[in-house]
Amino acid sequence: MVRKKIIILGSTGSIGTNALYCVDASPNAFEVIALSTHVNVDLLLQQAARYRPKAVAVTGRPLSEPEKNDLKSLDIRFFEGEAALVDMLHDKDFDMLVNAVVGAAGFMPTLAAVDKSVDIALANKESLVIGGEIVMPKVKEKNVRLLPIDSEHSAIFQCLMGENYADIEEILLTASGGPFRTFDDFKHITLTQALHHPNWSMGKKITIDSATMMNKGLEVIEARWLFDVPVEKIRIIIHPQSIIHSMVAFHDGSIKAQLGMPDMRVPIQLAMTYPKRQPSAFPRLDWTTLKELTFAEPDFEKFPCPALAIEALKTGGTAPAVLNAANEIAVARFIREEISFDQIPALIEKVLLAHDFVSQPTVEDVLGADQWARKYIGTRV
Amino acid sequence: MVRKKIIILGSTGSIGTNALYCVDASPNAFEVIALSTHVNVDLLLQQAARYRPKAVAVTGRPLSEPEKNDLKSLDIRFFEGEAALVDMLHDKDFDMLVNAVVGAAGFMPTLAAVDKSVDIALANKESLVIGGEIVMPKVKEKNVRLLPIDSEHSAIFQCLMGENYADIEEILLTASGGPFRTFDDFKHITLTQALHHPNWSMGKKITIDSATMMNKGLEVIEARWLFDVPVEKIRIIIHPQSIIHSMVAFHDGSIKAQLGMPDMRVPIQLAMTYPKRQPSAFPRLDWTTLKELTFAEPDFEKFPCPALAIEALKTGGTAPAVLNAANEIAVARFIREEISFDQIPALIEKVLLAHDFVSQPTVEDVLGADQWARKYIGTRV
């Protein structure tokens, strides 16, 4: 069997380490060509020693001389700085990019992989949030498989296997509702409270996004591009148990759902092995203890973030890029405990109101809007 | 567009009338070639006048002279008696058989359609229950599409669209549990109680089968043949709301479910229009009122019928035919209020114990076992 040559960007994060877990589970299926981290160089070096990639990239800080020597002794090339990811992708031959970069920094690597006609297992939702309008026509042109890793989008993707996308009546995006679904005092939510997700174990940024429900807003934008459906056909449904990962309703009245344990390794592995489903030893859903699945309507007054995202998607152009950048900075400031939880949506709205949108944006327009938003929000409270 | 030429057997029953409803909904999609009834000749004549088929068949009684004259005046051929269905199928050219015959009488028509290499929308589960071992190799040989109409099997079929059947870890057959799920006094269940299904509106025989849960046992056998999985991979799960119509668990840990309103028209239409999903005006699931889906383990001590069916499937050969015939007679006697509800499984078990099984049976063996069982049980209490 020829092994699939993969590059995992963001290999030291939650998705990245689980992707490497999937490599371990199918050692004959994958050859790890390259890895990257933003700042977790220690773990990256451990991964490099174990998987012996041809190259690694570090985007968040320069490598020290001992670190460089470590890599040289293993005959591993290294790339540093902001352009490191794209430079590394251009330099290497590979069959699949696992893009698990956090935030807008994942956009250019996605574009680079599409340009090389390489399939992408996509965890970086920002690639589509900020650049869906740019990425998707190229994906079609280059005949690239864009395989979602997000549990919701993987669920939708699985529900659509063997189906005609034109038969979609509605995409039902399930949301746990996060830790504050039944909470009321949003002003005094602490960082510790916000970092405690009831069902999923994830990175910090996405955990806060779950708490504000901005994650669901970004997922609506991602779904709009991945499955080529208008925003009006995407509906958020609260499902606190996170067992049903999302659903698709078809125009004949039939609905399909994908479900299972909240375990990111299932969608990660499927994206990496598709069209094959690889047998796994991941824990199974236990029907003897699963008593009920419940559903509720989302409360967009209590959680303003999804409505902001949907509004930005409807505005189009550079609006989603501005929304995303403003959210990234707002969340970072909340994590640094500089702002309160309820200031996150308030700040994002301020930035959106101040932005002059560009429609049908170029890559430069999108990156410019992203930069503008980061600067603008940095100066506001 | 060329219209699909369909024959609907059992057109006056619950499935048959709903199949004609689907014809009405897509008048340019179908041409009704022939219809049949067991004894409901009045309704058959109304349907004949409306759909103007080329032929009709009546299996349960002779036609009267005025009835024959009615049909002659419409230029419609008629077939009567036990062999009427097969004779009519041999006589006509058509693209699809909708087999909605009740009971073992549906087996020979299924075989006849397979022999003609015609696709089958199958509501008659007995075709596979008693003859799966004979039907399925021919289905493969003749490259026939066998499209399930049972809501459970349609659900499984939909979950498997675009999937590899070899990836199935488990088929999760959902069961409402029927009207007596939380009942204890099985000796004194009345016919009226048994005919009141909590979720589905169906014919009498299948409603009693739901009450005894024999329906679920027959469905296990049907699923075993339709999806080519061993019985050990088929599991019954109680789901009282009948919203999830069944599920498939794959060997990577992912599960897919098909759900929707309990409305037989959805699976009937899909079987008739597949691979197309025809837009429909059937009522949609209302997520604002759907609060919860619950699950429980089945109680096979309280409901012995599914275990009898699974045992018969494991025995194989003519055993499922005997189980099915014994069940048909036992249910008919319960409907005539000759025996009590709890005597249904007791009688079936008696017949199974008395039968000399034939393995790798021929069509004649299966029909012989069916006849033997009917005679044997007719003399027992």
Tokens of A49: 């020693």
Mean pLDDT, range A1-6, rounded to an integer: 92
pLDDT in tens, B240-278: 999 999 999 999 999 999 999 999 999 999 999 999 999
pLDDT number for residue B381: 61
3-class SS of residue B129: helix
Kindly identify which residue of chain B lies nearest to residue A246, measuring between CA atoms: B256
Out of A253, A260, A266, whose CB is closest to B282? Answer: A253
Contacts (Cβ under 8 Å, ≥6 apart) of B102? B10, B13, B38, B124, B203, B205, B206
Q: How far apart are CA B38 and CA B370, in angstroms?
A: 19
User: Is the Cβ pair A164, B277 closer than 8 Å?
Assistant: yes
pLDDT in tens, B59-84: 999 999 999 999 999 999 999 998 99
User: Is the Cβ pair A253, B290 closer than 8 Å?
Assistant: no
Percent of chain B with pLDDT over 70: 99
User: Is the Cβ pair B251, A277 closer than 8 Å?
Assistant: yes
Kindly identify which residue of chain B lies nearest to residue A259, measuring between CA atoms: B255
User: Is the Cβ pair A291, B295 closer than 8 Å?
Assistant: yes
**Which residues on chain A are in Cβ contact (under 8 Å) with B168?**
none
Interface with chain B: mutation pick from A171, A234, A246, A254, highest number of B CBs within 10 Å = A254
The per-residue DSSP string of A219-237 comes to HHHHHHHHTT--GGGEEEE
- Which DSSP helix (H) or strand (E) runs through B6? strand B4-9
Return the closest-CA partner of residue A171 out of A135, A221, A242: A221
pLDDT of A183 > 90? The answer is no
User: Is the Cβ pair B255, A161 closer than 8 Å?
Assistant: no
Q: Give B127's pLDDT tier (boundaries 50, 70, 90).
A: very high
The per-residue pLDDT of chain A, averaged, comes to: 95
pLDDT number for residue B182: 83
pLDDT number for residue B282: 95
User: Is the Cβ pair B257, A260 closer than 8 Å?
Assistant: no
- Total beta-carbon pairs less than 8 A apart between chain A and chain B: 134
Contacts (Cβ under 8 Å, ≥6 apart) of A381? A339, A343, A347
CATH 3.40.50.720 domain locations along chain A = 4-148
Sign of the alpha-carbon torsion through B349, B355, B361, B364: negative
CB B167 within 8 A of CB A274: no
pLDDT of A201 > 70? The answer is no
pLDDT of B181 > 90? The answer is no
Q: How far apart are CA B121 and CA B267, in angstroms?
A: 10
**Which architecture does CATH list for B4-148?**
3-Layer(aba) Sandwich (3.40)
Tokens of B124: 């008659």
CA distance B181 to chain A (A): 16
Q: How far apart are CA B190 and CA A92, in angstroms?
A: 75
pLDDT of B349 > 90? The answer is yes
pLDDT in tens, A289-342: 988 999 999 999 999 999 999 999 999 999 999 999 999 999 999 999 999 999
pLDDT number for residue B192: 87
User: Is the Cβ pair B256, A256 closer than 8 Å?
Assistant: yes
pLDDT number for residue B183: 84
pLDDT of B108 > 70? The answer is yes
Mean pLDDT, range B296-300, rounded to an integer: 94
pTM > 0.90: yes or no: yes
